């Protein structure tokens, strides 16, 4: 992938949701719940403060994260669909 996030941005591959079936009815994609979990693919250098210091991010490449439901921007890069999020939109790291 040829994307490099800037400042406090993070690139996340969204976890694919399984097709949802309730009572034998297949829900259309528009009615499905928006995914909120993914894997961090790239991390920017961090946010620059007013005094010029760079504050590094709390996440790193490979982390599984939970992010805000309506945060970020969806982007298609080749065959991959990814989200570009601000670090503030990441709510938690799932893990070890």
CATH number at residue 13: 2.30.33.40
Whole-number pLDDT of residue 69: 87
Residue 4 forms part of a structural domain: no
pLDDT-flagged residues of the chain (< 50): none
- Burial readout 48-63 (b: 16 or more C-beta within 10 A, e: otherwise): eeeeeeeeebebeeeb
Residue 2 forms part of a structural domain: no
Using DSSP, state whether 89 is helix, strand or coil: helix
State the DSSP code for 23.
T
Q: Which domain holds residue 52?
A: 9-94
Domains contained in the chain, number: 1
Whole-number pLDDT of residue 15: 83
- Burial readout 13-35 (b: 16 or more C-beta within 10 A, e: otherwise): ebeeeeeeeeeeeeeeeeeeeee
Whole-number pLDDT of residue 25: 65
Do the beta carbons of residue 61 and residue 77 sit within 8 Å? no
Residue 46 forms part of a structural domain: yes
Residue 1 forms part of a structural domain: no
Residue 31 forms part of a structural domain: yes
């Amino acid at each position: 992938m040829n994307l490099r996030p800037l400042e406090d941005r993070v690139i996340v591959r969204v976890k694919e949701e399984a097709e949802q079936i309730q009572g034998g009815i297949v829900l259309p994609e528009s009615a499905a719940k928006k995914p909120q979990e993914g894997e961090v693919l790239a991390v920017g250098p961090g946010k620059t403060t007013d005094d010029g210091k760079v504050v590094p991010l709390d996440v790193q490449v490979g982390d599984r994260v939970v992010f805000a439901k309506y945060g970020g921007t969806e982007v298609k890069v080749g065959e991959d669909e990814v989200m570009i999020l601000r670090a503030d939109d990441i709510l938690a790291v799932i893990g070890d």
